[in-house]
């Protein structure tokens, strides 16, 4: 590197002059005094936020505020600061949200007193053997390769062979149907994916799942067809247009109905679009490789000088002018002698930051990138795909929250490359990809786990734990209590290995196991009861003292935003109670398992069902203004927005009903004992929700009719204030910036989301982490010798 690369980098982020700042400060002070005199029950700090946002917005060249406003923490004597903000239920209102009293008051005081500190960021430059030979990306912090699917070894020179089928047949025939890679044609052994192959007109067309096999008649009248995995369906290779072909079918002829094709065949692999995979498109990668790489089917292939799962981490040879915003402005250490004989492996950059600071492990790709690159269904575990115009299309994949949060942390100003300065450590194991991929191919065999996806996934977390303990020095200093893991699947962290239970778990369902103290899933493969205690230990699924429930992913809904369903007033909500979802075996197409929803939805339907069950009967207490139906409405969001109260009941573990309710401005009625909802251990739920014990389901409507209009309007007003905390706005806006940079324009969803200014899921998480940083009891026993600002 030349001297120019090491010059002092000063990039001004705030474009407010000191004169403007002085004027704003004076106005804020005046308004704060007047506000305290006239409106003593509302926090005055919104004016500070307004002034800060004025400067930030004038510095932005895109949509306005780019990332979470940072909420930080000096040591504060709360008794010396009087901050009004209590509501009717003893909550403390901070940033428009009713928090539990102590938490909200602390955050408000901290927000008022915070300042930035200088952090030394470490820019690494450790090379890898032969630069990974073009078959991987060098982790320049560790000097180790992250190899693409099908490659391994120090320099990614070792070729791996991932079979689509068991050689010579499955050792256990009952497991063969679980391998969706089962292939009657050409197996790509780098990823265990099946394609039509040579000799066909479209050799790169996927031949996935049941597409290439024959079917057997149903085993019973009215049953579904069965697959005969021993008999290949030769018709998929036919050139006879009157037969149901696939590998030689011309898309134009098929679209115009000139030829037939097998309906069970489809375009499942990412990177291809159209019913016949005729259009190559972008694949979904973490942060789309941040402009410093190419998305290799889900794995970021970074350009020289950049590394990390999303190519956002610079090395010493990257261009300083292209560094991410969380590393700027920076003061760079210049070596005394740039021309010494040895090589430079690291350099330091001093950056002003606010705590909490999060270090993100760049784990081996088996825990993230390979899971994305090798997935057999494009919609699995991602929150977006790309259509034939490479425009973003958002998925309805509830598990997409894991990808959204991962992207936000990687791009956040709270991220640090210096583990010694970090307050928290994020371990990115993507269980939202692992569990659905458990039956992909023989190399991901469930045989040794007796078919249990939960046991299979536990092993991934245990291996990640072993990796960070062996390769990094950070775990032992707190026994992992400052580490964060995300368990996104149906029952959350129930299958966490015992070694990591000290850590903070992010989940979608907070079962404390105080009532439901066993696996409640109706999917036998996800059951965790039978995992041995020497692997799982003896812990609950959720500990409210250390863990946090996060909202599930909900796709940007432009119509709901533009029509402002969340803001619909009480007077226009004519339905008293609304629940639309599967009600179990008593109804047509209902889930047959008694364990489904722990029987709670079934009890609700029995009492208040508004649609006839299989016997043609309605619920025992059916009422005109109560809707409890398994018949999914085309106007589901409108149904919620027309209702005063909406049911939040479990599905197979968690469901997205809490998010649906809040996002449409409906008061959530939680019916699941001992189970925490999103943010319930930090927010004051009495201010915006209702809990009904499961045993009180027969009295549900009587209880709801007993609420007076004043209290209902109070709760509804709070729902309308907090609804943005249930959106992954930050991840959505990161995608909006990418689309604008690439195409020069944005879609409707980006415009609507850019108008939202309140705290989202990621902002809420940062606030919780900030509080935990200074209030977790264990931290008082550990002296990290840090500067806190």
The domains found in the chain, sorted by start residue, are 558-729 (3.40.50), 732-779 (no CATH)
> What's the burial of 40, exposed, middle or buried (CB within 10 Å: 0-12/13-18/19+)?
exposed
Quote the tokens at residue 86.
Answer: 């209590």
Quote the tokens at residue 609.
Answer: 């069902």
Q: What is the pLDDT of residue 787?
A: 79
Q: What are phi and psi of 571, to 5 degrees?
A: -65, -25
CB 190 within 8 A of CB 162: yes
SS3 27: helix
Q: Which CA distances in Å does 150 have to 136, 380, 477, 593?
A: 10, 21, 36, 40
Which residues touch 223 (CB under 8 Å, ≥6 apart)? none
Residue 58 DSSP class: H
Q: In what order do the strands lie in the sheet with 626-629?
A: 626-629, 575-580, 643-648, 667-670, 690-691
Which residues touch 303 (CB under 8 Å, ≥6 apart)? 292, 293, 311
What does the pLDDT look like over 712-749, one tens digit per residue? 999 999 999 999 999 999 999 999 999 999 888 888 99
What does the pLDDT look like over 583-641, one tens digit per residue? 999 999 999 998 999 999 999 999 999 999 999 999 999 999 999 999 988 899 999 99
Predicted confidence band of residue 134 (pLDDT cuts 50, 70, 90):
very high
Closest CA to 469 of 497, 448, 488: 497
Say whether the peptide bond before residue 265 is cis (omega within 30 degrees of 0). no
C-alpha dihedral sign at 439, 444, 449, 452: negative
Quote the tokens at residue 420.
Answer: 């010694």
Closest CA to 366 of 146, 93, 634: 146
Quote the tokens at residue 488.
Answer: 């996104």
Predicted confidence band of residue 786 (pLDDT cuts 50, 70, 90):
confident
Q: Return d(Cα 537, Cα 96) in angstroms, integer.
A: 40
Q: Return d(Cα 302, Cα 289) in angstroms, integer.
A: 7
Q: Euclidean distance between the first and final Cα of the chain, in Å?
A: 34
What's the whole-number mean pLDDT along residues 422-446? 91
> In angstroms, how far apart are the furthest CA atoms of the chain?
86
Task: Using the predicted structure, report yes or no on whether residue 336 has a pLDDT greater than 70.
Answer: no
CB 120 within 8 A of CB 349: yes
* Percent of the chain with pLDDT strictly greater than 70: 86
Q: What are phi and psi of 363, to 5 degrees?
A: -70, 160
Q: What is the pLDDT of residue 665?
A: 97
Q: Return d(Cα 186, Cα 189) in angstroms, integer.
A: 9
* Percent of the chain with pLDDT strictly greater than 90: 74
**Got the DSSP string for 745-770?**
---HHHHHHHT--S--HHHHHHHHHH
Q: What is the pLDDT of residue 89?
A: 86
SS3 132: helix
CB 703 within 8 A of CB 692: yes
Predicted confidence band of residue 345 (pLDDT cuts 50, 70, 90):
confident
Closest CA to 570 of 710, 702, 685: 710
Say whether the peptide bond before residue 85 is cis (omega within 30 degrees of 0). no
Task: Using the predicted structure, report yes or no on whether residue 14 has a pLDDT greater than 50.
Answer: no
Predicted confidence band of residue 149 (pLDDT cuts 50, 70, 90):
very high
Q: Return d(Cα 697, Cα 595) in angstroms, integer.
A: 17
Q: Which CA distances in Å does 785 have to 341, 386, 781?
A: 35, 47, 12
Quote the tokens at residue 649.
Answer: 């009941």
Q: Return d(Cα 335, Cα 734) in angstroms, integer.
A: 35
């Amino acid at each position: 590197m030349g001297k120019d690369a090491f010059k002092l980098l000063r990039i001004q982020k705030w474009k407010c002059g000191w004169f403007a700042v002085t004027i704003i400060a004076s106005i804020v002070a005046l308004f704060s005094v007047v506000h305290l005199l006239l409106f003593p029950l509302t926090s005055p700090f919104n004016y500070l936020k307004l002034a800060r946002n004025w400067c930030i917005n004038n510095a932005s060249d895109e949509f306005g505020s780019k990332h979470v406003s940072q909420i930080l923490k000096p040591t504060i004597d709360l008794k010396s600061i009087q901050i009004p903000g209590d509501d009717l239920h003893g909550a403390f209102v901070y940033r428009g949200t009713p928090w539990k009293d102590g938490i909200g008051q602390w955050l408000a005081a901290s927000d008022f007193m915070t300042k930035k500190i200088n952090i030394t960021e470490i820019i690494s430059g450790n090379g890898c053997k032969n630069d990974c030979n073009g078959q991987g990306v060098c982790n320049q912090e560790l000097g180790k390769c992250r190899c693409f699917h099908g490659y391994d070894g120090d320099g990614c020179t070792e070729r791996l062979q991932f079979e689509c089928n068991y050689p010579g047949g499955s050792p256990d025939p009952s497991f063969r149907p679980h391998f969706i890679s089962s292939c009657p044609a050409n197996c790509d052994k780098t990823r265990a994916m099946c394609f039509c192959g040579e000799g066909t007109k479209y050799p790169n067309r996927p031949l996935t799942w049941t597409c290439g096999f024959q079917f057997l008649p149903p085993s019973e009248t009215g049953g579904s067809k069965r697959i005969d995995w021993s008999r290949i369906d030769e018709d998929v290779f036919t050139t006879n247009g009157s037969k149901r072909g696939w590998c030689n079918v011309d898309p134009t002829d098929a679209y115009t109905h000139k030829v037939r094709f097998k309906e069970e065949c489809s375009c499942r692999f990412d990177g291809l679009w159209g019913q016949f995979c005729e259009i190559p498109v972008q694949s979904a990668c973490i942060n789309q490789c941040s402009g410093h790489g190419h998305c290799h089917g889900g794995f970021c292939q970074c350009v020289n000088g950049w590394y990390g799962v999303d190519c956002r981490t610079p090395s010493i040879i990257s261009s300083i002018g292209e560094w991410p915003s969380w590393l700027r402005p920076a003061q760079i250490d210049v070596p005394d002698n740039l021309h010494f004989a040895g090589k430079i492996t690291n350099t330091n950059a001093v950056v002003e930051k606010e705590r909490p600071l999060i270090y993100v492990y760049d784990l081996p790709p088996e825990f993230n990138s390979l899971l994305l690159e090798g997935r057999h269904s494009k919609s699995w575990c991602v929150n977006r795909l790309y259509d034939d115009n490479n425009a973003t299309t958002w998925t309805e994949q509830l598990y997409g929250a894991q990808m959204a949060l991962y992207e936000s942390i990687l791009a956040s100003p709270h991220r640090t490359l210096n583990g010694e300065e970090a307050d928290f450590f994020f371990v990115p194991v993507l269980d939202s990809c692992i569990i659905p991929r458990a039956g992909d191919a023989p190399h991901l065999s469930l045989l040794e786990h007796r078919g249990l996806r939960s046991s299979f996934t536990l092993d991934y977390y245990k291996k990640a734990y072993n990796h960070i303990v062996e390769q990094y020095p950070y775990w032992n200093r707190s026994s992992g209590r400052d580490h964060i893991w995300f368990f996104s699947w149906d029952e959350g962290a129930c299958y966490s290995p015992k070694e990591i239970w000290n850590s903070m778990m992010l989940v979608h369902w907070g079962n404390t196991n105080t009532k439901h103290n066993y696996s409640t899933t109706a999917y036998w493969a996800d059951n965790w009861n039978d995992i041995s205690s020497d692997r799982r230990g003896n812990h609950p699924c959720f500990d409210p003292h250390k863990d946090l429930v996060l909202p599930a992913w909900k796709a940007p809904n432009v119509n709901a935003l533009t029509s402002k369903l969340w803001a619909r007033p009480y007077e226009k909500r004519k339905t008293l109670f609304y629940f639309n979802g599967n009600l179990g075996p008593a109804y047509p197409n209902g889930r047959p398992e008694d364990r489904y929803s722990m029987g709670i939805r079934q009890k609700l339907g029995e009492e208040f069902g508004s649609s006839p069950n299989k016997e043609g009967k309605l619920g025992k207490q059916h009422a005109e203004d109560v809707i409890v139906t398994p018949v999914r409405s085309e106007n589901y969001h409108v149904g919620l927005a027309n209702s005063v109260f909406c049911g939040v009941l479990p599905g197979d573990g968690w469901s997205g009903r809490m998010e649906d309710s809040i996002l449409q401005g409906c008061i959530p009625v939680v019916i699941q004992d001992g189970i925490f909802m999103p943010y319930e251990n930090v927010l004051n739920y009495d201010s915006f929700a209702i809990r009904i014990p499961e045993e009180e389901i027969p009295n549900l409507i009587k209880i709801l009719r007993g609420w007076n209009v004043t209290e209902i309007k109070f709760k509804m007003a709070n729902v309308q204030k907090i609804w943005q905390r249930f959106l992954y706005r930050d991840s959505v806006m990161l995608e909006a910036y990418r689309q604008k940079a690439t195409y020069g324009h944005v879609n409707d969803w980006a415009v609507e989301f850019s108008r939202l200014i309140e705290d989202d899921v990621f902002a809420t998480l940062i606030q919780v982490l900030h509080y935990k940083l200074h209030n977790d009891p264990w931290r008082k026993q550990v002296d990290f010798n840090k500067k806190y600002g």
